[in-house]
Chain A
Amino acid sequence: NTKITQSPRYLILGRANKSLECEQHLGHNAMYWYKQSAEKPPELMFLYNLKQLIRNETVPSRFIPECPDSSKLLLHISAVDPEDSAVYFCASSPHGGLSNERLFFGHGTKLSVL
């Protein structure tokens, strides 16, 4: 799926700061960050609609999202913890996270914390 690109693909960190990036080329209004731990389903972290944060789940404060425009999404992580090791997926949907919308996922960024 090249319509939602995420970078980097793999990330290995000690207790450092880093940003994950996502860009969607679908013209969608809504963008999401999901965290998927090993052998678990994805868990919603943040949802933006038209650059506005409309859903902020219970996420440690070291995760800070940013949506500079409606096609781009960033996730800034400071002082990562071993429990942050997971795959982070960016997703999008056409109209702002309505219940009848399907989600389009990127290929994910696999974060490994040393």
Chain B
Amino acid sequence: AQSVTQPDARVTVSEGASLQLRCKYSYSGTPYLFWYVQYPRQGLQLLLKYYSGDPVVQGVNGFEAEFSKSNSSFHLRKASVHWSDSAVYFCVLSARSNNRIFFGDGTQLVVKP
């Protein structure tokens, strides 16, 4: 079965602190993986994507993510968060076998000043 799990529904961090948002996936092969961000009252926007190669991928606004096949994970990181990073973050798997897309339930990030 193909699925994405974001175990943390809500994460609260202080501005300037480091951040990790967790994502675990279930897929028999190597999937395409994405992180999208959704700011209030807006559509989703791509942060970064992983296709193959270097397991650490860089995204916009200082975000990066690391793919781990052994752990079936694709965690999102940022060294120092800003209040404007407050949003909902979705981890997304795209299955190479059937082109279907699976969204995690999202993690609400709250950055305290």
Q: Which residues of A contact B (CB under 8 A)?
A: 1, 4, 39-42, 44, 89, 91, 97-103, 105-108
Contact = CB atoms under 8 A, between A and B. Distances in A.
A98 B51 CA distance: 13
B96 A99 contact: yes
B32 A100 contact: yes
A102 B51 CA distance: 11
B24 to A, nearest CB: 15
Contacts of B106: 39-41
Q: Secondary structure of the A side of the interface? A: loop
24 contacts: A1-B43, A4-B43, A39-B106, A41-B90, A41-B103, A41-B104, A41-B105, A44-B101, A89-B44, A91-B43, A99-B32, A99-B94, A99-B101, A100-B51, A100-B94, A102-B49, A103-B36, A103-B44, A103-B101, A105-B43, A105-B45, A107-B41, A108-B41, A108-B42
Contacts of B28: none
Contacts of B25: none
A92 to B, nearest CB: 11
B103 A42 contact: yes
Contacts of B104: 41
B17 interface: no
Contacts of B41: 107-108
Nearest to A91: B43
Contact of B95 (A1, A39, A91, A99): A99
Contacts of B67: none
B99 interface: yes
B43 A102 contact: no
B34 interface: yes
Contacts of B42: 1, 107-108
B102 to A, nearest CB: 9
Interface string B62-94: 000000000000000000000000000010001
A107 B51 contact: no
Interface in B16-33: 32
